[in-house]
A and B are shown apart, each in its own frame.
Chain A
């Protein structure tokens, strides 16, 4: 075979290693497979939900390298080697993550379908606030905050969580849950 005929990059699948919730998983994935489908169908991690599959609802939100992303628009093959955390990986054994605890205490859900995405998104947004990142709800983007980062209020939470839809409309209880979680994180 001449070199021009060697086209390994045209293979429709790839052998990859995914690091999910601290565990290394070796997989052969179709290049088309989203991270969402791979988590659910291949790794039996069905906590992450499929809503719209277009990045519009946020039900599929997971953390990749500590940042919240839509797993439906993420190709599994492209996140090889990145640290992936799903809702199943948040708790410390039987001890819930502070965000999970806050959602439970505030009853921040009804049917629960969007909840894993809401919770992972909240973990991500609290980290963003801690870095001092402003949002569209921030009056002055040039303001520099202290080491604790942005202190959230209702408006900030609603804006920062706008990538997660809840068709039950349980937002009213989610907002205080997120505020509680930030307070708990700072204690």
Chain B
């Protein structure tokens, strides 16, 4: 690992100033992804700016039943919070579906949003990877792509965003709050993540020098009946192959409101807006759900290795929505 400096700024303003002065710096929160990538030689910062003691660790109510989750809140504290568990069960379930108990105790909410792809080639510095080394090529296109994207990928990158929490936040229409030298900014999570296009080195639209300070989750009646399901190669402590975050409001068998986001299928948490639009006003039945999810998947471009994800999405979404509807009827 390359030697680096270490600084623990006294407050957020000092951290932002220091980050602006040092483009070679990286922000250290839980470190579960960053420290590992530094050990692999993927990340080579000259300075770490430790933001762990800046007090960004509260979960506060917001107007309209929403919550503001500090960027420094640990994943385990978020999933353990009784307010989150009751008002936004899909969020608690998504966090609990990820990583291990130890990692969730370390990992922060802000860092979780920024975790990097687990594409094998991104982590292997001996192989070309446009995300790690722009212009070097994509090894996955003709290589191992079983875990990789089926939606929204490009000729330069088929990596997937690996997280769970952000998929739930995408379904909830959360907003990401961050600080730069110019002040505070808030952006919709849809605009925070991006498709790879010709710049797969950029996972998000977060500007250089920005530090994530919080996530805003709006209060939505539909969130109360919600869940997160994850299909993976083993039952625990594995990244998702396909995941779904869903919230459903049904009246007399007819969908009144629905939120749907997919994980493991794209460069970003994939908010399934087409499927949502198709579902509203329709009965909760297999045929209607499959028609909706097929509309969402109409532009899927799987590789031979990950073609299984397309029917897996269809089955996982259908099963999840039917289960939510059955709970709603109780």
The CA-CA distance from A136 to B6 in the complex, in Å, is 36
Interface size for chain B: under 10, 10 to 19, 20 to 34, or 35 or more residues? Answer: 35 or more
| Chain A residues numbered 136-161 whose CB sits less than 8 Å from any CB in chain B | 136, 138, 141-142, 144, 158-161
Q: Contact between B236 and A73 (Cβ–Cβ < 8 Å)?
A: no
The CA-CA distance from A124 to B4 in the complex, in Å, is 31
Q: Which residues of A contact B6 (CB under 8 A)?
A: 9, 14, 31, 75, 77-78
Q: Which of A64-72, A94-102, A106-114 contacts B (4 or more CB under 8 A)?
A: A64-72
Q: Contact between A58 and B102 (Cβ–Cβ < 8 Å)?
A: yes
- Contact residues of B with A, CB < 8 Å? 1, 3-7, 18, 22, 28, 31-32, 35-36, 38-39, 46-48, 50, 52, 76, 79-80, 82, 85-86, 89, 92-93, 96-97, 99-103, 105-106, 235-237
Q: Which residues of A contact B5 (CB under 8 A)?
A: 7, 9-12, 31
Across the interface, name the chain A residue whose C-beta is closest to B92.
A141
Number of residues in A with C-beta < 8 Å to the partner? 45
Q: Contact between B102 and A70 (Cβ–Cβ < 8 Å)?
A: yes
Q: With A55-B102, A136-B96 as known contacts, state yes or no: A70 contacts B47, CB within 8 Å.
A: no
- Contact residues of A with B, CB < 8 Å? 7, 9-12, 14, 30-32, 34, 53-55, 58, 61, 67-70, 73-75, 77-78, 121, 124-125, 128, 131-136, 138, 141-142, 144, 158-164
Q: Contact between B80 and A12 (Cβ–Cβ < 8 Å)?
A: no
Q: Which residues of B contact A30 (CB under 8 A)?
A: 3
Q: Which residues of B contact A7 (CB under 8 A)?
A: 5
Q: With A11-B5, A55-B36 as known contacts, state yes or no: A69 contacts B106, CB within 8 Å.
A: yes
Q: Contact between B106 and A9 (Cβ–Cβ < 8 Å)?
A: no
Q: Which residues of B contact A78 (CB under 8 A)?
A: 6, 28, 31, 50, 52
Q: Contact between A124 and B102 (Cβ–Cβ < 8 Å)?
A: yes
Q: Contact between B3 and A32 (Cβ–Cβ < 8 Å)?
A: yes
Given A74-B106, A136-B93, A160-B101, 7 other A-B residues pairs in contact with their CB atoms under 8 A: A14-B6, A55-B32, A55-B103, A73-B31, A78-B50, A135-B101, A142-B86
